[in-house]
């Protein structure tokens, strides 16, 4: 599988009159790319992310992720597809405060039927990789914003997803924690993880992304590749 995302004539209308909120768009994202999606408020970034995550369906076109056409799947099949192939990290982490860091991270693995032992081993590996192993038994409420985002990213990666989607992952963080998460995304990109990062922050996009798509009024106004291989 060379292309992790393929969009073919994808458009989304929220209301039948007027122009679509997004598209029509045709582009693909290759394995190992770190794509930043930027653009002003209302330009369609979240709409695009929701379509790629299978959280919403396009009005027209085909959305193919990890080789599978997802826009025609049932809700049940989509939920399963997401658990197995897509990891998501959001601005506000969405961690479960009553579970420890380890349990938060291994939960999606257990939901896909991985044994507790294997899930714990994978969680341990990720905590080490992301530098949060000393918080393994802590509850998320005791951690800094940057640490919580690391936990959220570890949870997103526990099932080795083909695609990591990050929606304003530094949006709720102070500058130092934001740098921390930026470095984490850079490391993941270097390790070959395919990433789609939605952000208002052009410095973050420039630092982490090998390619940037700039949306204006639901269309791709710019599609640029970073010059240097980092």
Ligand X SMILES: Nc1ncnc2c1ncn2[C@@H]1O[C@H](COP(=O)(O)OP(=O)(O)OP(=O)(O)O)[C@@H](O)[C@H]1O
Residues near ligand X (CB under 6 A) are: 14, 21, 39, 41-47
Q: 27: exposed, middle or buried (C-beta count within 10 Å: 0-12, 13-18, 19+)? A: middle
Whole-number minimum distance, CB 41 to ligand X, in Å? Answer: 3
Nearer to ligand X among residue 180 and residue 201 (C-beta): 201
Whole-number minimum distance, CB 167 to ligand X, in Å? Answer: 9
Nearer to ligand X among residue 32 and residue 171 (C-beta): 171
Whole-number minimum distance, CB 111 to ligand X, in Å? Answer: 27
Whole-number minimum distance, CB 18 to ligand X, in Å? Answer: 10
Nearer to ligand X among residue 45 and residue 122 (C-beta): 45
Nearer to ligand X among residue 27 and residue 139 (C-beta): 27
Q: What residues have CB less than 8 Å from 113, skipping those under 6 apart?
A: none
User: Strand, coil or helix: what is 9?
Assistant: strand
24 preceded by cis ω (within 30°)? yes
Nearer to ligand X among residue 42 and residue 131 (C-beta): 42
- CA torsion, points 68, 72, 76, 81, in degrees to nearest 10? 20
Whole-number minimum distance, CB 21 to ligand X, in Å? Answer: 3
User: Strand, coil or helix: what is 184?
Assistant: helix
Whole-number minimum distance, CB 49 to ligand X, in Å? Answer: 8
CA distances from 159 to 82, 103, 156, 183, 191 (A): 10, 14, 7, 21, 16
Strands 60-65 and 3-12, bridge-based pairing: antiparallel
Nearer to ligand X among residue 91 and residue 133 (C-beta): 91
- Where on the phi/psi map is residue 219: left (φ > 0), alpha (ψ -120 to 50), or beta? beta
Q: What residues have CB less than 8 Å from 205, skipping those under 6 apart?
A: 36, 38, 197, 199, 212
């Amino acid at each position: 599988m060379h292309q992790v995302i393929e969009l073919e004539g994808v458009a989304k209308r929220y209301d039948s009159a007027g122009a679509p909120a997004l598209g029509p768009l045709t582009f693909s994202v290759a394995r190992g790319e770190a794509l930043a999606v930027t653009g002003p408020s209302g330009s369609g970034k979240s709409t695009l992310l929701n379509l790629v995550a299978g959280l919403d369906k396009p009005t027209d076109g085909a959305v193919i992720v990890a080789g599978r056409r997802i826009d025609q799947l049932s809700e049940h099949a989509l939920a399963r597809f997401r658990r197995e192939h897509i990891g998501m990290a959001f601005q506000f982490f969405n961690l479960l405060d009553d579970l420890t860091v380890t349990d938060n991270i291994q939960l999606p693995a257990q939901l896909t039927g991985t044994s507790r032992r294997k899930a714990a081993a994978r969680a341990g590996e990720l905590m080490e990789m992301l530098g949060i192993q000393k918080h393994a038994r802590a509850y998320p409420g005791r951690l800094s914003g940057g640490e919580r985002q690391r936990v959220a990213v570890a949870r997103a990666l526990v099932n080795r997803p083909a695609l990591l989607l990050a929606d304003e992952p530094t949006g709720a963080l102070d500058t130092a924690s934001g740098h921390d998460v930026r470095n984490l995304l850079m490391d993941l990109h270097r390790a070959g993880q395919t990433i789609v990062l939605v952000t208002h922050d052009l410095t973050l996009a420039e630092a982490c992304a090998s390619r940037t798509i700039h949306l204006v009024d639901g269309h791709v106004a710019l599609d640029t590749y970073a010059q240097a291989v980092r």
